[in-house]
Amino acid sequence: MKTHPTPPIAPAPVSHDTFHQLGGDLLVARELVKSYPVKGGAANTIFDGLDLTVRENEFVAILGHSGSGKSTLLRMIAGLESIDGGTIEVGGRRVTGPGKDRMMIFQHYALLPWLSVEGNIRLAVDEVMGDRTRSERDEIVREHIAMVHLEAAADKRPHELSGGMRQRVGIARALAVQPLLLLMDEPLGALDPFTRARLQDQILDLYYARHQTIVLVTHDVDEALLMADRIVVLRANGSASIGRIIEVPFDHPRDRKALREDGRFQELRNATLELLEEYFDEMSATDG
Amino acid sequence: MSHIVPGRRGARAGAPYLRPLLPLVGFALLLALWWFAATFLTNLMPGPITALRANLDYLANPFHVRGPGDIGVGFLLLQSLQRVLIGFALGSVVAIPLGFLIGLSPLARSMFDPLVQVLKPVSPVAWLPVALAVFNLANPSAIFVIFITSLWPTVINTAVGVAGVPKDYLAVARVVEMPRWKQIVRIVLPAALPYIFTGLRISLGIAWLVIVAVEMLTGGQGIGFFVWDEWNRLNLSAVFLAILLIGLTGLLLDLAIGRIQAAFTWAPEG
């Protein structure tokens, strides 16, 4: 039962900035189906034939309210959730489970509390880069601690750090293993607005510096507009589908202050908010 | 109203330097109760002073050996302690892997959880006849009962800890393609360690309780039989001494395992 036909994915806009030239398709999801069994034998269908393509070096935000299935979609790409139908390919290889080509940044950081900052990053590096020498791995760990400016806290354990610092460890851990695709599951959702803004800027800087392909799940319209090239707005009405894909027309590198004064930004922001509200009312009506 | 509040505050401000004395007040109350019982309720029981005087020899020579029936309380305590530690170690060696199995595998959980639930409320002393029938010897039987004692709290706490490892921790391990056995060693074990230690600590505490009862039944050499033997000789002074020593030893055991726990586990949040 496909209540909403998935709109075709428009190609990402040709970018004018030299920072980021988009490459070929990196992530291709076709006809995705996901359902959960519920009591009484029926299944609760989350996705029923969802398509999504992300190009190399592209920053895609998946936007939706809670219950729209956005985290589920991300976890399916990560291989942490089973796929009940359709296929996901990353870099031409079919996703059948979690893999080091797709690193995840978790909303609640998922740092191991008994390991130091360094230990948390080292755990991932040692596991993924076991074929490198010890000193090469040391260097990678050191480099990534420096990348998120946590040199002074390298020996501290997560409970000694602020939320923002913890998520920087999460980012360093994910990037240290050089994934093809970086998946971020509401990474800044638990942070205060100022820390969030600072981390958004840092993530953008890393995005520019490393030509990293990123899929970000968020419910924050401003965050999506500030960071992403394209925004995939999920619509949950019965099952979830892509309601609309919004091309974000601003050149990188982006400046949050300049954007805030840009009339197009305000327009796009209002339109997106209205769309979300509409989808939310729709879902509330279906749920009764 | 206003004059009451400063008065209260003044009383509280005066309390801190008296605080360290409060435990002494507690012990003094107990001694008073003892003295009351010894003076008015029974003539089998010595008062505190009499008991202390009667125990001077035990206290002065804790490690004497004057024949098989007359051994210093220090030696007796060490023998009991040895049984407890052997039984506890054997029990833990079985309980921790079993707890892991139950925590990790729903199948194992269905198989063993009902068993644990039924056997857990049984006083471990009830296993003594079974052990005597098998081993035919007091000492291995006592150790066996301690082994059984040490199982349940450790099994249950380990299983809870293992099953409760945050899904995100495991997601991290899966994303970096860590093999399953390595996930168990590097993620599940450290995450569950605080629970495992809680189980071990409870197990050891109960084991020390149970050994006294077991030794009363099996006889031989140990602080438990000492208590029963001295009662049979109507020497309650020695019984009081034993109670004090058993308590202090139990306290030391708990402190020791607490130290080990602190050294091996990560500090909790906050």
Which among B171, B176, B270 has CB closest to A127? B176
What strands, in cross-sheet order, belong to the sheet with A25-37?
Answer: A93-94, A85-90, A25-37, A43-55, A239-247, A230-237, A59-63, A213-218, A181-185, A102-105
Residue B235 belongs to a domain: yes
Is residue B219's pLDDT more than 70?
yes
- Domain co-membership, B13 together with B98: no
Q: How many domains does chain B divide into?
A: 2
Contact at CB, A123 and B176, closer than 8 angstroms? yes
What's the gap in Å between the CA of A288 and the closest CA on chain B?
Answer: 32
Specify whether the CB–CB gap between A3 and A237 falls below 8 A: yes
Residues of B in contact with A113 (CB under 8 A): 266, 268-269
The reply to whether A156 and A195 lie within a common domain is no
Tell me which residue in B171, B177, B187 faces A100 most closely, judged by beta carbons: B177
Q: Which residues of B touch A97 (CB under 8 A)?
A: 174
B267–chain A Cβ distance below 8 A for any pair: yes
The interface predicted TM-score of the complex, written ipTM, equals: 0.87
Does B88 share its domain with B208? yes
Residue where a domain terminates, one of A119, A153, A178: A178
| Interface list for A 146-185 with B (CB within 8 A) | 157, 159, 173, 177
For residue B189, give the 3-state DSSP assignment: helix
Q: Could you tell me if A113 and A151 lie in one domain?
A: yes
Task: Please check whether residues A236 and A170 belong to one and the same domain.
Answer: no
Q: In the predicted model, is pLDDT for residue B184 greater than 70?
A: yes
Reduced to 3 DSSP states, what percent helix, strand and coil does chain A have, rounded to the nearest 5?
A: 40, 25, 35
> Do A55 and A119 have their domain in common?
no
Residue B270 belongs to a domain: no
pLDDT computed for residue B5 by the predictor: 47
Q: Is residue B139 part of a domain?
A: yes
Q: Same domain for A190 and A285? A: yes
**Residues A252, A159: Cα–Cα separation, whole Å:** 35
CATH number for the domain including B112?
1.10.3720.10
| CA-based nearest residue to B147, from B136, B158, B157, B155 | B155
Chain B, 162 to 181: residues with Cβ < 8 Å from chain A are: 166, 168-169, 171-178
Same domain flag for B9 and B141: no
Exposure string (b/e) for B234-258, b if CB count within 10 Å is 16 or more? Answer: ebbbbbbbbeebbeebbeebeeebe
- The answer to whether B169 contacts A112, with C-beta atoms less than 8 Å apart, is yes
Q: Do B171 and A104 touch (CB under 8 A)?
A: yes
Give residue for tokens 């995939």.
A232
Closest residue to B176, CB basis, from A97, A157, A177: A177
Residue B52: inside a domain: no
In a domain? residue B49: no
Inter-chain touch A127–B178, beta carbons under 8 Å: yes
With a cut of 80, say whether residue B9 has pLDDT above it.
no
What is residue A7's predicted lDDT score, i.e. its pLDDT? 45
User: Same structural domain for residues A5 and A61?
Assistant: yes
Specify if B48 maps to a domain. Answer: no
Judging contacts by C-beta atoms under 8 Å, the chain A residues touching residue B174 are 79-80, 97-98
Q: Does residue B82 sit in the same domain as residue B168?
A: yes
Rounded mean pLDDT, B216-242: 93
Domain that holds residue B14: 4-43
What φ, ψ does residue A9 adopt, rounded to 5°?
Answer: -80, 115
Q: A92 and A150, same structural domain?
A: no
Do B97 and B231 fall within a single domain?
Answer: yes
Residue A187 shares a structural domain with residue A270: yes
Nearest to A1 by CA among A45, A35, A40, A38: A45
Q: What is the pLDDT of residue A284?
A: 82
**Number of domains within chain A:** 2
Q: What is the mean pLDDT of each run of 10 residues along chain A (288 residues)?
A: 44 51 90 85 82 94 89 95 94 94 95 96 96 96 96 95 96 95 94 93 92 94 95 87 90 90 93 92 75
In this structure, the answer to whether residues A33 and A127 fall within a common structural domain is no
Q: C-alpha A61: how far from its chain's center?
A: 6
One domain, residues B210 and B77: yes
Instruction: Tell me which of A12-16, A279-283, B39-43, B131-135 is least confident.
Output: A12-16
Same domain, A140 and A269: no
Q: Do B39 and B92 fall into the same domain?
A: no
Boundary of a domain, candidates A126, A143, A178: A178
Residue B53 lies in a domain: no
> What pLDDT is recorded for position B163?
96
- pLDDT tens digits for A62-114? 999 888 889 999 999 999 999 999 999 999 999 999 999 999 999 999 999 99
Regarding whether A79 and A7 lie in a shared domain, the answer is yes
Supply the CATH number for residue A281's domain. 3.40.50.300
Instruction: Specify the pLDDT at position A19.
Output: 55
Least confident span in B7-21, B193-207, B247-261: B7-21
Q: Do B156 and B32 have their domain in common?
A: no
A169 and A76 in a common domain: no
Task: Please indicate, yes or no, whether residues B136 and B98 belong to a single structural domain of this protein.
Answer: yes
For residue B186, give every residue at least 6 positions away whose Cβ sits within 8 Å of its Cβ, in sequence order, or none.
A123, B173, B178
| B78 shares a domain with B35 | no
Both structure tokens of A153: 């806290």
- The pLDDT assigned to A42 comes to 73
Measure the CA–CA gap between A59 and A22, rounded to whole angstroms: 10
Q: How confident is the model at residue B204 (pLDDT cuts 50, 70, 90)?
A: very high
Report the Cα A164 to chain-centroid distance in Å. Answer: 17
Say what the pLDDT of residue A20 is. Answer: 64
**Mean pLDDT over residues B175-191, rounded?**
96
Is residue A188 a contact partner of residue A2, using CB atoms and an 8 Å limit? Answer: no
Structural domain ending residue among the three candidates A124, A154, A178: A178
Which residue from A106, A108, A128 is facing B176, i.e. has the nearest CB? A128
> What is the reported pLDDT for A1?
43
Range of the domain at A194: 1-12+20-101+179-288
Q: Between β-strands A213-218 and A43-55, what pairing exists: parallel, antiparallel or unpaired?
A: unpaired
Q: What stretch of H or E contains A265?
A: helix A263-287
Please state, as a whole number, how many other Cβ atoms lie within 10 Å of the Cβ of residue B120.
12
Decide if B269 is inside a domain. Answer: no
